[in-house]
């Protein structure tokens, strides 16, 4: 291609942004969704689904709820490590008891669809499990999907309909360190109560035929998502989370 970029119809101009030609003479176009993703710095991993909520922890811990158990357990903001901006969520698991630290996001009840939870995380050698969950109660039943990375056994697991952990992806070995970030995204189908898709760095799983945990609920209709750290006994494991996104209307 040579010369000036071709003229386009007005309706096309409203849907795409046209940049000058690249060094090979090709017309460069960028959709508005792509532009928004580049401007915010979020959604850089999977980019599917409509963003319902996001948190980069730049404004502190005012968007969620902290749960801890065990000596030394803590949930706090840290400037020591970050993936986006200057701060991250630092979870420190207790050295005894349940040895956990959890951060929860409560959201209004939404019409069920395929919901996604994406988060970037870094962890030390004492982190046994990093868990990610999407939960919804419609006032009659609860619907729960939970995924975890098992660092000791290099695998990703899901909690099946009986509440038992089952292997989903094996042979997953992630680098450790406070600034060595990885990204996980899980998608659950809350219409059909199925796990739909899981991505972790280069590893992926898609099936859509594994059942979520469900049961009777008397809780007022509500939805919440959470990121959790479970540590080894006798030490205080640490993990950092950043760029947490919750999505809805995820595609098939």
Residues of each domain in the chain carrying CATH 2.60.120.200: 45-248
Cα 42 to the center of its chain, rounded Å: 11
Give the model's pLDDT for residue 1.
47
Name the stretches of the chain with pLDDT < 70.
1-44
CA R_g for the chain: 20
Q: First vs last Cα of the chain: how many Å apart?
A: 36
**What is the model's pLDDT at position 220?**
87
Assigned token pair, 123? 């962890």
Q: How far apart are CA 226 and CA 216, in angstroms?
A: 21
Separation of CA 85 from chain center: 17
Decide if 108 contacts 223 (C-beta within 8 A): yes
What is the predicted pLDDT for the residue at 223? 93
Cα–Cα dist 217/208, whole Å: 24
CA distances from 36 to 39, 41, 44, 245 (A): 5, 8, 10, 14
Residue 47 confidence (pLDDT): 78
d(CA 240, CA 87): 10
Q: Domain 45-248: which CATH class?
A: mainly beta
Q: What is the pLDDT of residue 165?
A: 97
> What's the pLDDT score for residue 31?
57
């Amino acid at each position: 291609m040579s010369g000036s970029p071709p003229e386009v119809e007005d309706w096309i101009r409203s849907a795409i942004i046209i940049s000058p030609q690249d060094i090979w003479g090709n017309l460069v176009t960028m959709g508005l969704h792509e532009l928004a993703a580049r401007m915010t710095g979020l959604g850089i991993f999977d980019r599917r689904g409509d963003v319902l909520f996001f948190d980069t922890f730049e404004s502190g811990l005012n968007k969620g709820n902290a749960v801890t158990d065990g000596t030394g357990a803590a949930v706090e903001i840290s400037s020591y490590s970050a993936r986006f901006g200057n701060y991250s969520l630092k979870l420190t698991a207790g050295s005894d008891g349940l040895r956990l630290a959890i951060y929860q996001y409560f959201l209004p009840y939404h019409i069920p669809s395929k919901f996604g939870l994406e988060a970037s995380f870094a962890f030390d050698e004492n982190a046994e499990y990093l868990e990610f969950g999407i939960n919804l109660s419609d006032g009659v039943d609860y619907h729960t999907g939970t995924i975890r990375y098992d660092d000791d056994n290099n695998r990703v697991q899901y909690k099946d309909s009986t509440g038992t952990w089952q292997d989903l992806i094996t042979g997953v070995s992630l680098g450790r360190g406070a600034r060595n970030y990885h990204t996980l995204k899980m998608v659950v189908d809350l219409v059909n109560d199925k796990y739909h898709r899981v991505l972790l760095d280069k590893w992926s799983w898609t099936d859509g035929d594994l059942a979520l945990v469900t049961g009777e609920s008397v809780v007022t209709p509500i939805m919440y998502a959470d990121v959790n750290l479970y540590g080894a006994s006798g030490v205080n494991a640490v993990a950092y989370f950043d760029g947490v996104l919750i999505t809805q209307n995820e595609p098939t």
